[in-house]
């Protein structure tokens, strides 16, 4: 399975944000074990650094981001992605950018805590808890 992780899920894992930490860490364990391929937009990495820098300082943020760059497939955000995101109906441009990247990357789903940001998307959207339940379910 190829899952696209929304920025909030990545931040929950790497910044140990409660009460979402446990689900995010369960996803991370599956990535580390090779059971799951997770994709992120390049903007997620910059957003993570920005948020982490405010919480733990520049050096710790750089170390955190640097250690995790190999955990994900990182997909580019270029002019075409941005233009396509502008044409998506939906009020949150950042969510639209991530949606376009997920579609271009042929992700099977988007894993997010902000399902309303992906409402009506042409891709399955799951909360981290729903995603983990789907992974645990026996194949049909």
> For residue range 91-109, what is the model confidence (pLDDT) as tens digits?
789 999 999 999 999 999 9
Mean pLDDT of 31-43: 94
Sole residue written with tokens 């364990």 = 29
pLDDT in tens, 41-71: 999 999 999 999 999 999 999 998 998 888 8
**Domain 2-129: which CATH number of 3.40.50.1010, 3.30.565.10, 3.40.50.80, 1.10.3720.10:** 3.40.50.1010
pLDDT in tens, 68-93: 888 899 999 999 999 999 998 877 89
Length of the chain: 140
Q: Please list, in sequence order, all residues whose beta carbon lies within 8 angstroms of the beta carbon of residue 54, skipping any fewer than 6 positions away.
A: none
pLDDT at residue 93, as a whole number? 93
pTM of the predicted structure, to 2 decimals:
0.92
Which of 2, 16, 34 lies closest to 110, judged by CA?
2
Facing residues of 125 across strands?
110
* Alpha carbons 42 and 55: distance in angstroms, whole number: 21
Where does 3-138 have alpha helices with state H? 7-14, 21-32, 42-56, 58-68, 79-87, 93-104, 128-136
Q: For all residues of the chain together, what is the average pLDDT?
A: 93
């Amino acid at each position: 399975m190829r899952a696209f992780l929304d920025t909030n899920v990545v931040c929950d894992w790497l910044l140990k944000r409660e009460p979402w930490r446990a689900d995010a860490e369960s996803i991370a364990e599956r990535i580390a074990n090779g059971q799951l391929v997770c994709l992120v937009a390049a903007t997620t990495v910059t957003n993570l650094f920005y948020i982490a820098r405010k919480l733990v300082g520049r050096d710790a943020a750089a170390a955190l981001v640097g250690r995790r760059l190999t955990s994900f497939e990182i997909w580019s955000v270029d002019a075409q992605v941005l233009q396509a995101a502008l044409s998506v109906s939906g009020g949150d441009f950042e969510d639209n950018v991530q949606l376009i990247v997920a579609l271009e990357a042929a992700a099977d789903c988007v894993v997010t805590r902000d399902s309303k940001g992906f409402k009506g998307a042409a891709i399955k959207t799951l909360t981290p808890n729903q995603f983990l339940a789907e992974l645990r379910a026996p194949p049909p």
